Amino acid sequence: MSAVEALFSAFALPFMGRALLVMLVLSVIAGVVGVLVNLRGLEFISDGLTHAVFPGLAVGLAVGGAAGVLPGAAIAALIGAVLLTWLMRSGVANDAGIAVVLTAAFSIGVIVVSKSDDYAGALEELLFGRVLTIPPADVVPLVVVSAVALLLVALTAKQQVFRAFDPAGSRAAGDSAFGLDLALNVAVALVVVAGASTVGSLLVLALLVVPGAAARLIIGRLWLLFPIAGVFAALASWLGLATGFAASVGAGVDLPAGSTVVAVFVLAYAVVLLVRLARDAGKRRAGARAGAGAGSPDSSASSAASVDRAMGERAA
């Protein structure tokens, strides 16, 4: 299979086209939301929300089948967002409270799933997603859920950034700390809802964390972090789906689509990290050479001797 077929022709297939559409929308919005998560240092909170959604996925699947997964996840996500926000704002230690919610929610989800007839299949679908088998009827709800998350971030972006860098100043300016935390946690929860239906509840965290972290390695300008993270996420999603298709159809290697997309995210981040480390090392070496050349006694002496010779020649 040629690269052109994998990168372009593959998405003419209906199931690949749906997967690409959902992954592009989801990953770009997750990347934008993830920049704020990265700036606020809320990666562990996001991990807690991914696990808090799991019982909602399980209950929705048990009650309404595949059609009940999205509503069940949405309800669980909103409850989890409110609970984790309250824990953040209360006197309870953040990490301890999140760990309790994380393990309790996940255990409840596993118990519910274990009561289904197809325990192994249902658990695998909830944990690792079904990006290539997304029903056409689920595309619009997934896009809408992701768009609501983007809207929440867009409406509070300036206040969120202010709170990230100066929490005391944000409070003094009249911003509601609880309101901003809740808005961001709800946005993260909605991204998790959409992501859990595609790449699964275990892997969705990569869509939230990796693009923002990569953007901060690429550029230092604050407001450019958001488009950079979106572009990074879109390219990684496209290449991940194309890689999975090429491996499965062209090479006969059966790769899970969601896991392949996440692997490409991580690989792209590793490449960006190595380039950044190499660039920083080059700058340090160049600075060291420049400093050594400017401060060298031999260099100063030779320069003085050259000036003396030149003056002597002019006098002669």
Average pLDDT over residues 80-100: 74
Report the C-alpha gap between 59 and 124 in whole angstroms. Answer: 15
8 Å CB contact between 192 and 12: no
Report the C-alpha gap between 150 and 115 in whole angstroms. Answer: 36
Tell me what pLDDT residue 298 has.
52
Whether residue 14 is predicted with pLDDT greater than 50 in this model: the reply is: yes
User: Could you tell me which of 151, 130, 163 has the C-alpha nearest to residue 18?
Assistant: 130
pLDDT 10s digits, 234-273: 999 999 999 999 998 887 888 888 889 999 999 999 999 9
Tell me what pLDDT residue 309 has.
55
Report the C-alpha gap between 15 and 257 in whole angstroms. Answer: 12
Rounded percentage of the chain residues whose pLDDT exceeds 70? 87
pLDDT 10s digits, 270-304: 999 999 999 999 988 888 888 776 655 554 455 44
User: With bands split at pLDDT 50, 70 and 90, how would you rate the model's confidence at 175?
Assistant: very high
Domains of the chain: 3-289 (1.10.3470.10)
Tell me what pLDDT residue 220 has.
86
Average pLDDT over residues 144-167: 93
Tell me what pLDDT residue 6 has.
81
Averaged confidence pLDDT in the chain: 84
Tell me what pLDDT residue 159 has.
94
Tell me what pLDDT residue 307 has.
45
pLDDT 10s digits, 26-66: 999 999 999 999 998 888 788 878 878 888 888 887 787 76
Tally of CA atoms within 13 A in the half-sphere of 129 that contains its CB: 28
What crossing angle do the helices spanning 119-128 and 54-64 adopt, rounded to 10°?
A: 130
Tally of CA atoms within 13 A in the half-sphere of 300 that contains its CB: 6
pTM reported for the whole predicted model = 0.83
